[in-house]
Chains A and B, each alone.
Chain A
């Protein structure tokens, strides 16, 4: 782990479990509502927390994630910024230096590009550069990935870009329960976290247990299986769970592993799963070449080389710019492409 990381990636803390309102049972919330509640509670718990970005204040965000927060916490803690992402992230750096815990938002993932200099050269390495005197407890919320038929720059898949930067942590929730607990956890970390929200999953409701989040670090088995492990994150986890149901109709028992943290990747849970199933397919929306699937495949190969039955298969987007709405269904891995990937692994024979 790089010197730039204040907190070791191996550290498991259960802080997120302590902050809940103490209700029992699961509530039905959308991811938008879960994220909104998480931000509300983080703002209430820590007076040093600030939420800001384009339309985050008065409007409540284009996805309504910050809805009502400015009215509740005031314009000094939840506020609108100019349309200038380098300024939003540059301000986050200065606020972090001054002891605040900024939770900035870039409105869409494609708008993160103008702020890459601030993210890579300042947020990622200020702690390292200052020999630990200027940690960057910034949680950058990035509505991410495709699936909502938006125009260009409104759907990207930047996890490999962020995961490659030393000093950054990257996480993506796959459902409302994960969103609530992972955001509360990320927002209270001493290190910068890129929080990639799957914008196509904002509105579906699912059970959230606010008082029992489970471990907020590492990967998570979302469905156990015996024959093959599907590895995914963000919006692709839901699709892989659908695929697992369909594969079961054909007698193939698929395990679905939600990677959750894309930096650091939980190599141990990955290896534990694939040592059991002996076959793996990794699914992501980003282009194939130098995508995070390559990293996952290598970690599996390293951990399971002696027992793997087939090379790790990747089912991904294509090496083209993320297409606008009309071509999305052709680009994003669909059920049949994932099933084909599974079939290729099942058919593989050595020698």
Chain B
């Protein structure tokens, strides 16, 4: 298994921090991509952050009322090694399929 950390992104033009209002997921919970993770408040608005990926929540950072700077860790996911890549998919190891048959007289001259 691999751990992937997701830092607090810039939630608006040049915002530097956000305040945690409420965590919508808890440590140990399996989350899906786009599932709301946390409600945070910036100097512009309160927003729900969707999960950037599927995975098991290992750690969350900040309790309600705590401030987190942009770029600091917000949440850590645990994902299987074979889905830890970012681009492309992991090929499935399937039983080989064939249509072509070989026919040959293997004369040993």
Interface of B is mostly: loop
CA A247 – CA B84 in complex, angstroms? Answer: 36
Taking a contact as CB atoms closer than 8 A, the residue among B82, B86, B91, B98 that contacts A246 in the complex is B98
When the two chains form their complex, are residues B102 and A64 in contact, meaning their CB atoms are under 8 A apart?
A: no
List chain B positions with a Cβ less than 8 A from chain A.
2, 81-82, 84-91, 93, 96-104, 106
Q: Which residues of B contact A63 (CB under 8 A)?
A: 84-85
When the two chains form their complex, are residues B86 and A252 in contact, meaning their CB atoms are under 8 A apart?
A: no
CA A204 – CA B90 in complex, angstroms? Answer: 9
When the two chains form their complex, are residues B100 and A62 in contact, meaning their CB atoms are under 8 A apart?
A: no
- Chain A's closest residue to B4 (CB) is A59
Query: A40 an interface residue at 8 Å Cβ cutoff?
Result: no
Segment from A10-18, A123-131, A142-150, A258-266 that makes contact with B: A142-150
CA A120 – CA B102 in complex, angstroms? Answer: 44
Can you list 12 A-B contacts with CB-CB less than 8 angstroms, sorted by A residue number? Answer: A64-B84, A151-B87, A154-B87, A199-B88, A203-B81, A246-B98, A251-B102, A252-B104, A335-B97, A339-B102, A342-B102, A343-B102
List chain A positions with a Cβ less than 8 A from chain B.
30, 32-33, 60, 62-64, 67, 108, 147-151, 154-155, 199-200, 202-204, 227, 242-243, 245-247, 250-252, 325, 335-336, 339-340, 342-343, 346-347
When the two chains form their complex, are residues A246 and B106 in contact, meaning their CB atoms are under 8 A apart?
A: no
CA A108 – CA B106 in complex, angstroms? Answer: 43
Beyond A67-B2, A250-B103, A252-B104, whether A148 also contacts B96 by CB under 8 A is no
CA A120 – CA B4 in complex, angstroms? Answer: 36
Q: Which residues of B contact A342 (CB under 8 A)?
A: 102
When the two chains form their complex, are residues A227 and B106 in contact, meaning their CB atoms are under 8 A apart?
A: yes
When the two chains form their complex, are residues A200 and B87 in contact, meaning their CB atoms are under 8 A apart?
A: no
- Chain B's closest residue to A227 (CB) is B106
Q: Which residues of B contact A151 (CB under 8 A)?
A: 87
Q: Beyond A252-B106, A340-B100, A343-B102, list 7 extra A-B contacts (CB 8 Å).
A: A32-B81, A62-B87, A202-B85, A203-B82, A246-B98, A252-B104, A339-B101
- Chain A's closest residue to B80 (CB) is A203
Q: Which residues of B contact A62 (CB under 8 A)?
A: 85-87
- Shortest distance from the beta carbon of A40 to any chain B beta carbon, whole Å: 15
When the two chains form their complex, are residues B88 and A150 in contact, meaning their CB atoms are under 8 A apart?
A: yes
Q: Which residues of B contact A204 (CB under 8 A)?
A: 93
Q: Which residues of B contact A242 (CB under 8 A)?
A: 96
Taking a contact as CB atoms closer than 8 A, the residue among A30, A108, A148, A346 that contacts B81 in the complex is A30
- Shortest distance from the beta carbon of A279 to any chain B beta carbon, whole Å: 10
> Closest 4 CB pairs between A and B?
A148-B88, A150-B88, A346-B104, A339-B100
- Shortest distance from the beta carbon of A59 to any chain B beta carbon, whole Å: 8
Taking a contact as CB atoms closer than 8 A, the residue among A30, A32, A243, A343 that contacts B103 in the complex is A343
- Chain A's closest residue to B97 (CB) is A335
When the two chains form their complex, are residues A64 and B96 in contact, meaning their CB atoms are under 8 A apart?
A: no
When the two chains form their complex, are residues A343 and B96 in contact, meaning their CB atoms are under 8 A apart?
A: no
When the two chains form their complex, are residues B90 and A148 in contact, meaning their CB atoms are under 8 A apart?
A: yes
CA A246 – CA B99 in complex, angstroms? Answer: 11
CA A149 – CA B104 in complex, angstroms? Answer: 36
